[in-house]
Amino acid sequence: MSLPTVDANYRFIAAYNEVNARVAQRQQALALYVSLIVSLLAALVALRPSPTAAQAPVEWLILGFPVASVCFAFLNYKAERAITNLRTFLSTLERLGGAHERLPSYNTDPKWSRNANKARRYHDHASAVLVAGGNLVGLGAANAIYPQRFSEAPAFLYVSAALALLSFLAVLLTPRWSYVPD
């Protein structure tokens, strides 16, 4: 008795639904990142020095800016790799029986894929601007609000800036892992 097989059309639909889910996850990661940065900024302002308040450990708080950025870069990379893998699978399905020679093939024909990748680069540019801006605003605000603290312990600021730069570069390099048809 032969086992039933799943038709290529159903496999294509399932893979394309997964691509859409990964794109949605990528957008959710971006929204989460923005929420974290705004929350960290609010915490910095709320903890600003006053004569009656105890000194808050803001040196540790500023590490939250680059840590959020690094996590976002990892999530962005994960989504890009998953999308690339799924689009490679979709391209394979589009070529079954030479269908890509008779029908438009979004994942197989370079003209469609190139245009799709160009449009998706705007997400990467927006992400890079948010990572750079979020870290610059956060670390700059921390240094402006707590200049004495960071002049006494500059290592926190340097480590935060280095991690922020690495995450910015990782986000900028994300397009290197984008899908390109064979």
d(CA 133, CA 129): 6
In a domain? residue 103? yes
In a domain? residue 111? yes
Position 4 scores a pLDDT of: 66
In a domain? residue 116? yes
Position 112 scores a pLDDT of: 86
Position 83 scores a pLDDT of: 94
Question: Closest Cα partner for 176 from 108, 124, 126?
Answer: 124
Q: Which residues, 6 or more positions from 41, have their beta carbon under 8 angstroms from its beta carbon? A: 137, 138, 141
Query: Is pLDDT at 73 greater than 80 in this prediction?
Result: yes
d(CA 154, CA 139): 12
Q: pLDDT higher for 68 or 5?
A: 68
| Helical axes 110-145 vs 154-173, angle rounded to 10° | 170
d(CA 174, CA 23): 14
Which residues constitute the domain of residue 68?
8-177
Neighbour-count burial of 127, counting CB atoms closer than 10 A to its CB (0-12 exposed, 13-18 middle, 19+ buried): buried
Query: Is pLDDT at 160 greater than 80 in this prediction?
Result: yes
Q: How far is CA 58 from CA 47, 55, 117, 120, in A?
A: 8, 8, 40, 37
Query: Is pLDDT at 163 greater than 80 in this prediction?
Result: yes
| Helical axes 110-145 vs 64-94, angle rounded to 10° | 170
In a domain? residue 115? yes
In a domain? residue 169? yes
Position 40 scores a pLDDT of: 96
Query: Is pLDDT at 115 greater than 70 in this prediction?
Result: yes
Q: How far is CA 44 from CA 41, 104, 152, 153, in A?
A: 5, 53, 18, 17
Query: Is pLDDT at 62 greater than 80 in this prediction?
Result: yes
In a domain? residue 12? yes
In the chain, the number of structural domains is: 1
Query: Is pLDDT at 2 greater than 90 in this prediction?
Result: no
Please name the residue that has the structure tokens 């030479």.
98
Share of the chain above pLDDT 90, in %: 61
Question: Closest Cα partner for 131 from 57, 46, 72?
Answer: 72
Give residue-wise pLDDT tens across range 4-32.
667 888 899 999 999 999 999 999 999 99
| 131: its two tokens | 């990572």
Query: Is pLDDT at 55 greater than 90 in this prediction?
Result: no
In a domain? residue 162? yes
Q: pLDDT higher for 114 or 71?
A: 71
Q: What is the DSSP letter of 107?
A: T
Query: Is pLDDT at 3 greater than 70 in this prediction?
Result: no
In a domain? residue 42? yes
